[in-house]
Structure 1
Amino acid sequence: MIISINEMSEIPIYQQIRNQIVQGISDGRLSPGEQLPTVRGLAEEIGINSMTVNKAYSLLKQEGYIFADRRSGARVRKEFAVTKELSEKSRELLQQIISEAKVSGMTKEEFFEICGELYE
């Protein structure tokens, strides 16, 4: 898995890692049960502190996207809880995106068209 970090982004690096792993799970680049790089290995590959990767993995584990143990390391969960709901944080982010779209003059239909393209 290739993680790309944008050091100029306002999004913390651990959050960028978390987001890219969730996106990889969503779009099929990461398969259920797939082994993730070790904390140390990913940190070296990206060129960041291993504590940053550990923080991302801890968050992913807490959110139920991965599981980890000392023997097999971190792996993508084979099954996910189907809640059909967004987390409060995701809802807040979506509200911000909608607000920016409205301010930019985008119609609801234009916004939904983009959402549909990205969802697929």
Structure 2
Amino acid sequence: MLLHIQFDSETPIYQQVKDQIIRGIALGELKLGEKLPSVRQLAADIGINLHTVNKVYNQLKSEGWVVIHRKSGVMINPHLNLNQSSEALEELDDLLKNITAESFLKGISKDEFITLVERNYDRYNMRESE
């Protein structure tokens, strides 16, 4: 998986890396149980501070996306629960409240917003049908 960091973006680098790893899991680019690069290797590969990568990996671990083993390193959680839970829906609802508010304030119509959501969702849904 190739990460693309926009250094001039307002989105913090750690958030860009984290988001791209989660998207990679959803798209099937990163498989359950797949080993990720070491903190040092990923930092060197994309030209960022190793503490930033460490922060990303620890956040991904606390959210259950990855597991970290002292000897074998970081891997996509092989037991990742991809099933819907009420807690996941609550978290998603909170995120969507902010995204919807920003969209509204930026003048994006409801139809445009729904089209964007459907198009993005379909990218992940197509992966499951393969």
Give the shorter-chain TM-score range: 0.7 to 0.9
Give the drift of 1:51. 0.7
Distance in 2 (alpha carbons) for counterparts of 1:68 and 1:38: 10
1:1-120 matches, within 5 Å, as 1-81=1-81, 82=83, 83=85, 85-86=88-89, 88=91, 91-120=93-122
Distance in 1 (alpha carbons) for counterparts of 2:16 and 2:72: 24
> What SS is found at the alignment partner of 2:68?
strand
Distance in 2 (alpha carbons) for counterparts of 1:105 and 1:61: 36
Contact 2:32-2:80 within 8 A present in 1 as well:
no
Indicate the structure with greater helix content.
Answer: 2
Report how many residues are paired: 119
Give the drift of 1:103. 3.2
Q: Percent identity?
A: 42
Distance in 1 (alpha carbons) for counterparts of 2:115 and 2:102: 16
Which residue matches 2:128? none
Distance in 2 (alpha carbons) for counterparts of 1:87 and 1:46: 33
Pairwise CA RMSD? 1.8
Distance in 2 (alpha carbons) for counterparts of 1:113 and 1:37: 35
> What SS is found at the alignment partner of 2:53?
helix
Give the drift of 1:67. 0.3
The TM-score, its normalising length taken from structure 1, stands at 0.86
> What SS is found at the alignment partner of 2:119?
helix
Output one character per residue of 1:75-108: Cα deviation in whole Å (capped at 9) or x when no partner.
00122233252464x5444223212332344332
The TM-score, its normalising length taken from structure 2, stands at 0.80
> Which one is further off, 62-71 or 108-117?
108-117
CA 1:34–1:17 in structure 2 vs 1: closer, same or farther (change >3 Å)?
A: same
**Where in structure 1 are there 5+ consecutive unaligned residues?**
none
